[in-house]
Structure 1
Amino acid sequence: MMKITLFIAMTLAVTSPASALPFGTKSPDGGTEKQEMASVRGAAKEVSRSQTPEASAVVESFFESSDSGSLQETLHALSNADGMHDFLQSTRRSLHRHPEVMYELPFTSNTIAGILDELDIAYTRGWSKNTHPEVLSGLCFPVTMSVQLTLFTAVLPLGVRRAGRIHASHVLIYQEDMDALPILEAVKGIDGFKSMKDGQMHACGHDGHTTMLLGAAALLKKIESQIVGTVRLVFQPAEEGGAGMKRMVEEGVHLMEPKAQLGFGMHVWPTLPTGIVASRPGALMAAAEMFQITLTGKGGHAAMPHQTVDPIVAAASLISSLQTIVSRTLSPLESGVISVTAISAGDAFNVIPGDAVLKGTIRALSTETLLSLRDKVQAMVESTALLHGCNSTITYSPDYYPPTFNDAELFEWTKDIGALISRDGKLRDVEPTMGGEDFSFLAEVIPTTFFFIGQGTGGDETHHIPRTDFGLHHPSFALDEDVLPIGVELHANLALRSLKRLAEEGSDIITKAEL
């Protein structure tokens, strides 16, 4: 006889009191943060209380035979049950009201911890340290960073199964992100759950991602005695430029015993219809690099430019020249993009400033192309500065994101699972996107597959949101809450069906680092 454990790993930020909103902050309904957390925990408790003997029997039958049809019906019913709906909606809306960026996630972390407590899932600490607080603070977002962060690893004992059928080494790892963006929310028509923080909002759906994974934790907990294998669910900080997943990989989140063999992730996608699941083999998302360029000239009076070295003119020339790198030096058969997204120089109408600062990103579908573009940007900055008589410096993000790459073999035998959940019964094939995703760091060390879940055709009076097809990072981005149970269902199906396949094949997959 053998005892199997389910691990749920969660990153929680340890933050200074000055940077955290104090308990007592009023919510839109007049309550406090404490009351709001209590309400979410209450919804989690209701989910945990509901009995599902029929579901447990179906899962046991699935692992002992091939009754996958009944499993799909059961997981769909559990994902869409009234109690689960209330839990998902209240959790997501609470997280949306309290967005937090990068590594500073006190409310989000406390909310997740409280939910795990109600689900009777224990957790331990000690992961995900922000090792570049000064660089990230200047390069990305103007917020205070904590150096010491916390990962909560929850241990959930599973039932005892017959020896010879169960392999504790059959391990899956799931990742979802928790952080928001420094964007002022402009969504019209939201009733009661708009961001309470000016200049911060969940504009990339991470509140939904966190909620989906919590829903999956609740669902798997209900049928834990029948699960064959080990599942780790990872809630990470700082996906938006902080490489939170890289910190966790460096610290060995995938190497905890028993070691993870396969990994999965997903992201809501507003350009796809709601409920459509999509992916592709190979490169799905781009490698990405952030940069900051400072051009230093000589300031002076705007009436006497000949006595100055104008960094604004140099910056204007550089912005145009950077666009020739992709169009003139990159093969038309390769993909790359260089975008200058911010410029700051001076603050007076009659003064030529002493310096100009540009910020932006470099993106490509391969690491080799990204690094080549980076070298060419460096050369262009130096030559343009020299031409205009300026000095130059360029700072890059401490961690460029590799491309998010779907393992071909893993994709081949999980694509049918995506099709099973997709509302049209098909896994939609998508072209690679130039967006970056730090799930890619996990994809470098174990075989992984990443999915998109469409959410672009939602929005009505029931949801209090007029449109859900605005792009990611748009101030009017709004999540279609109909995707929440779909995400739970996809997570649960991937877990159970992948574990069964590993058990049947007696797979002995090892991490890429060990090859």
Structure 2
Amino acid sequence: MKLYLLAASTLATRSSSALPFRGRPPKTEENGERRNQAVEQFLASETPEASAVLQQRVHQDAMEIFDFLVDTRRTLHRHPELMYQEEETSKAIQTILREFDIEFTTGWAVNTNPDVHPGPGGYGVVADIGTGKEPCILLRADMDALPIMEQTNVDFRSQYPNKMHACGHDGHTTMLLGAARILKGMENSLNGTVRLVFQPAEEGGAGAKRMREEGVLTQQPKPALAMGMHVWPTLPSGVVAARPGPLLAACERFEITLQGVGGHAAMPHLVTDPIVTGASIIMNLQTIVSRNTSPLEAGVCSITKFEAGSAFNIIPDSAIIWGTIRALSTETLLELRDRVQHIVQSTATTYGCNATIKYSPDYYPPTVNDPALFESFSKEVGALVSEEGRLRETEPTMGAEDFSFFAESIPSTFYLLGQGSGQVPPTNYGLHHPQFALDESVLTRGVELHVNWAVRALKKLAENDETSRQIRTAEL
């Protein structure tokens, strides 16, 4: 990893990022005394009044940088980059962190599967704010875009063909940068370290797993808790939702190649037809959830692409089928995968074809909100920030998130942040839709969610450490 140690004289040195940022937030020193007083009062007190003062202070700070948030998000939106290719996005993040006088390391999330995912990777950025000692907590934002041609009419739409921020990652990155600005301003009052993780390659590339393997969870100071979030178009703007336990599904994808014997469409008795074989496989796979999965377990098996042939009068030699399976536990996911393997092979054999199946290099585990952490303070933080004044407890969704690799290792909380109420342009188009649009009014709420969770998480860890110390002293 490359380490950047920043001094005042280095702030004038810009990154070589080609992304043009028009606006900058106010200096972090402004209102610093009042901000630090709010943090110190909260850390020293259990009263609702102290919590309210802190939230009000964080809200005011977030509103002060709204223009910066909008400008940053729109700049990122104009310049989307696909997984393991986020070079300019990474440089832009580094530029802003330098201006905030925040130390960071780069070179995270190197692509270990270049034959599957084009691009070298290594564009992840990690920054620590605070004491540099434990307790330590982790905040994460993803940063990659999707291979989609944008169909919105906004003046900041994607400048790159077939590349689009259609999943809100430009917003996620912007929110964490805003949180970095505020947390840096209260750094002298923090009772631990906040680790900011700007993560590449969420969209199928398992960037979080790469960063975990590279030591982002074990590097000192070692994070004890983690938090992430995702904008959610099916929730009203500003509403915060979550649940204890599984929130997002485990996910695996597969590619089936069928090899038969082609020939003339008028003489099907002389061929081994991979299209008929594939059609049977697709129908047989639909029995997995209904007949091989408990009715009390959630599961999905979806076929998303079936490709074969080139002319109306030719039966092809081969066919390719793509699909995905989902479940709310890793155990169920692996059971589904075993059934896919068995059904594909047995059906292909019945029709006389050969079948090979390729799976993703990294299936995603489910994203699980630690129940004790959720009840301890994550639920309270969600309510504090939510437009409704309460956290909306939601049902699990079969979407998947590679934040799950962090949540698999340390107690974590993942929130859904509603953004579906915007009117111009409409912001209720689904994730991965070519007309997906972010309601920029929720950018400040995302900042507030990060900052409030971080301060309270550090406080909770410090309290637990003190309790453990007292218990050890009493035992002596």
Q: Is the TM-score greater than 0.5?
A: yes
1:76 counterpart = 2:41: no
* TM-score for both structures, normalised by structure 2: 0.91
Aligned residues of 2:326 and 2:333 also touching (Cα < 8 A): yes
Corresponding residue to 2:438 among 479, 502, 508: 479
Distance 1:288 1:395, change over 3 A: same
Alignment match, 1:348: 311
Q: Distance in 1 between matches of 2:83 and 2:277?
A: 32
Aligned residues of 1:284 and 1:431 also touching (Cα < 8 A): yes
Aligned residues of 2:108 and 2:122 also touching (Cα < 8 A): yes
1:293 maps to amino acid: I
Superposed CA offset, 1:407-458 (max 9, x none): 1110001201110101111100100111111111111111111111111111
Alignment match, 2:139: 174
Superposed CA offset, 1:311-350 (max 9, x none): 1111111111111111122111111000111122122333
1:111 counterpart = 2:92: yes
Equivalent position SS for 1:359: strand
Q: Distance in 2 between matches of 1:154 and 1:174?
A: 10
Corresponding residue to 1:242 among 205, 209, 221: 205
Equivalence map 1:88-487=2 (5 Å): 88-134=69-115, 136-137=116-117, 144-146=118-120, 149-156=122-129, 158=131, 168-187=133-152, 189-190=153-154, 192-413=155-376, 414-460=378-424, 465=425, 467-487=426-446
Distance 1:155 1:266, change over 3 A: closer
Which ranges of structure 2 fall in alignment gaps of 5 or more residues? 5-15, 469-476
Report the alpha carbon displacement of residue 306 of structure 1 after superposing the two structures with TM: 2.2
Alignment match, 1:140: none
2:433 maps to amino acid: H
Distance 1:486 1:253, change over 3 A: same
Aligned residues of 1:312 and 1:356 also touching (Cα < 8 A): yes
* TM-score for both structures, normalised by structure 1: 0.84
Q: Distance in 2 between matches of 1:459 and 1:113?
A: 33
Corresponding residue to 1:54 among 34, 49, 57: 34
Report the alpha carbon displacement of residue 385 of structure 1 after superposing the two structures with TM: 0.8
1:197 maps to amino acid: Y
1:422 maps to amino acid: S
Work out the number of aligned pairs and report it: 451
Q: Distance in 2 between matches of 1:508 and 1:202?
A: 45
Report the alpha carbon displacement of residue 51 of structure 1 after superposing the two structures with TM: 4.3
Which ranges of structure 1 fall in alignment gaps of 5 or more residues? 1-6, 9-22, 24-32, 138-143, 159-166, 510-515
Aligned residues of 2:137 and 2:458 also touching (Cα < 8 A): yes
Between 1:49-58 and 1:124-133, the stretch displaced more is 49-58
Q: Distance in 2 between matches of 1:506 and 1:457?
A: 42
Equivalent position SS for 2:227: strand
Distance 1:150 1:180, change over 3 A: closer
Q: Distance in 2 between matches of 1:508 and 1:392?
A: 59
Aligned residues of 1:47 and 1:87 also touching (Cα < 8 A): no
Aligned-residue Cα RMSD (Å) equals 2.0
Q: Distance in 1 between matches of 2:467 and 2:80?
A: 41
Q: Distance in 1 between matches of 2:89 and 2:189?
A: 30
Between 1:392-401 and 1:59-68, the stretch displaced more is 59-68
Distance 1:296 1:497, change over 3 A: same
Distance 1:508 1:249, change over 3 A: farther
Report the alpha carbon displacement of residue 64 of structure 1 after superposing the two structures with TM: 2.6
Alignment match, 1:500: 459
Report the alpha carbon displacement of residue 292 of structure 1 after superposing the two structures with TM: 0.6
1:488 counterpart = 2:447: yes
Equivalent position SS for 2:440: coil
Distance 1:55 1:252, change over 3 A: same
Between 1:62-71 and 1:396-405, the stretch displaced more is 62-71
Between 1:46-55 and 1:202-211, the stretch displaced more is 46-55
Q: Distance in 1 between matches of 2:435 and 2:105?
A: 37
Aligned residues of 2:84 and 2:123 also touching (Cα < 8 A): no
Report the alpha carbon displacement of residue 500 of structure 1 after superposing the two structures with TM: 1.5
Report the alpha carbon displacement of residue 157 of structure 1 after superposing the two structures with TM: 5.7
Equivalent position SS for 2:281: helix
Report the alpha carbon displacement of residue 101 of structure 1 after superposing the two structures with TM: 1.1
Q: Distance in 2 between matches of 1:355 and 1:177?
A: 38
Q: Distance in 2 between matches of 1:155 and 1:381?
A: 48
